Structure 1
Amino acid sequence: MQELWQTQQESCMLGVRHMVSEIMQHEWPSQHQEHQQLPAGGLSQPNKLKPGRYDGNTEWESYHRQFELIAEHNGWNNFSKAAALSSVLSGTALEILTEVENPQSYLALTEALKKRFGIRHQAQRNLTLLYARVQQPKEDLQAYHQAIKSLARRAWPAEARGGAIEDVVLFHFMRGIRDPGLRDKMMSAGARTMEEALDSALRLEAVCQLSHPVAPVRRGDIDCDEEIPLPHERYPVARAMDVTRESRQQERHWQQARSQNPNGRPRPRCWRCDTIGHVVAHCPHPPIKAPARLALPEPGNDQRLD
């Protein structure tokens, strides 16, 4: 008897649910469709993440790892990965699409980008940048240390770093320190790793600042790194006036020489009497001779004559 009552109750509930569903479908069709599209539990799906653009200026390995994490979060397959990666390429990286035979293949697209912008294929360029890298005027030690480590990581693979390579990177870090006093102290500090070198550099820099405090720069102070211009560079108007005065004097001199020589041919000037019209060989003034001096023996050096 009880089982029969439960069966009738379940059939009644099913009929009521069917009736409510038909009413909602006819009266509120939009709300009924939204109700059917909700997933189980009434919870919405997580938001989709959008990868950033890639133009080839950064290393491909770091960007590829970030792209893989975003693709895993969004639940993309290889076809969706290829489409999403193609949509974010720009600059020189966009040219890869014309070089790949099948740009819809995610594996072929990533291999082409790795060959073009990967670390292994830009080792020589990064090594040259490492050799030329020095600390910039307003760059602190932490930023300079991180830049050297980044160039070393891109110049040599992970399995090759260590040992002699670590010593080379450490030497370039110490060599590029801007402060000459701090550089000399770091060379004799004996640091073995880049972390030890950074700790030593920060400690020595703090000691140097305590022992030689930097005076506050006033408005009238002169920066040592700034080149002091010359007077004619600082005052171009005065320099122009000097040039004009010199040109006028030279022009006056040539006018005087033309007036003395109407034929227009240059006349010689005697360097003995400073007269225009003759040379020193035909100078009427006799040369000035210095008074003759007798070479007398010095006292005490007389020779005795027997």
Structure 2
Amino acid sequence: MAHPRSLLPLRFLYFPCSALAEVIEQLSVSSFVDGLRDPEISQLVRLARHKTISEALAQALEIEAAKQASRGTSKIRQVKAYHGNDRMETANGNLADIIIEVVEKYKKGQDSENPTMNRRRRIRCWTCDVEGHVKSRCPQPSTEQNQGNAN
């Protein structure tokens, strides 16, 4: 909460001198509560319906201090330490086996037993139905282009 004290002298600048002091104070309290970042603190201060901004500020500071004090307790998790390289050797052994498997699959042709991969590799022209090139690179003239130019 960085702004509450800065609101005190500025609150009289925004309202005319003829306004009632209660209205000014209530609007100041409302602006202060609306500016609180923590929604829980804002809700508790709003429900208290303070008459002055100093009362609202005092309660907000008390709630924030209580929340920070209760936040200090945290659960500590148990940690198990491994001595020696037994665990590391096991992890490195498993990692080496996995790497060997991946390299073997790559050498076999990147999963050549998978039929969808083989289907994707073949390029066939839609015009002449010959493998090896696409329609835009077809050496034979397209019949669609000739029909389109006839108009």
TM-score calculated relative to the size of structure 2: 0.48
Larger radius of gyration: 1
